[in-house]
Amino acid sequence: MSIDAILEKLNAEVKKPNFNQGVIQDYSNDDEIGTVWYGDDYNYNGKSSPKPEGEKWENKLANYVTNKWADFSAAFSDVAEMQSGKLKIYREIHVDDVEEFLDSLNKSTTIQGFKGIGIYWSWDKDVAHAHCGSGGHSVLLEGLVGINDINYKNTAQKNLNPILGIGVDENEAEIEVKAKADITIVAVHASNKNIWQGKVQIAATFKNMVNAKYKMVGIS
């Protein structure tokens, strides 16, 4: 499999009906959307979706998505990497004790309350920052995910989003994996140094799964 194969799957989602509206749906009541995206010609009515005032709104949105897709596909082709037929992904997390965390990786142990390694990752190592949680020590996980374990609709919409997508300061370069995905952790980084290297398979989430078949690791 290749980067082009992933882009083909993402582009298939972009071409589906109602995709364009989904790009801005979650942020239609956001003041920043009102100033950055709609401008003076549009407003929103306080509901879940914006109420355009101009006849050309749909064309404007379509043009926006087309342009953003071009920017995203170029960046993804340039930055994203494949390894062993899987996409390389990154996720920053906070741990209470780095040595304990690495030891749990090696031993495949678990800590009470751990629910999986998470579904929100990044295809760009440089912007893979933790956006929730605090305290402890930050470590950057480097993993691999199969192309059939990616949520392509959500990934496409988030990468084209005016607030979090490509070309903005808060760009997260997000890859959302499926809840039942298996992530292969191949490296852990801290303070820009590689502090662990190996190959441990961890579930994105253990909900509705048989835990015993997955490698488990404790995370604060």
DSSP for 66-116, please give it: HHHHHHHHHHHHHH--EETTEEEEEEEEEES-HHHHHHHHHHT---TT---
Query: pLDDT tens-digit profile of 41-83?
Result: 445 554 444 545 455 667 777 888 999 999 999 999 999 999 9
The pair of structure tokens assigned to 116 is 């999986």
Whether residue 122 has pLDDT greater than 60: yes
Q: Are strands 193-203 and 86-95 parallel, antiparallel or unpaired?
A: unpaired
What is the predicted pLDDT for the residue at 206? Answer: 53
Domain boundaries of the chain, sorted by first residue: 3-213
CB 33, CB 162: distance < 8 Å:
yes
Query: pLDDT tens-digit profile of 82-108?
Result: 999 999 999 998 888 888 888 888 876
As a whole number of angstroms, the distance between CA 91 and CA 8 comes to 24
Q: How far is CA 61 from CA 42, 64, 136, 182, in A?
A: 12, 5, 42, 35
Query: pLDDT tens-digit profile of 179-201?
Result: 888 899 999 999 889 999 988 88
Residue with tokens 């972009």: 14
Residue with tokens 């960046």: 75
Question: Which pTM was predicted?
Answer: 0.82
- Any idea of the CA torsion for 52, 58, 62, 64, to the nearest 10 degrees? -30
- Secondary structure (3-state) at 4: helix
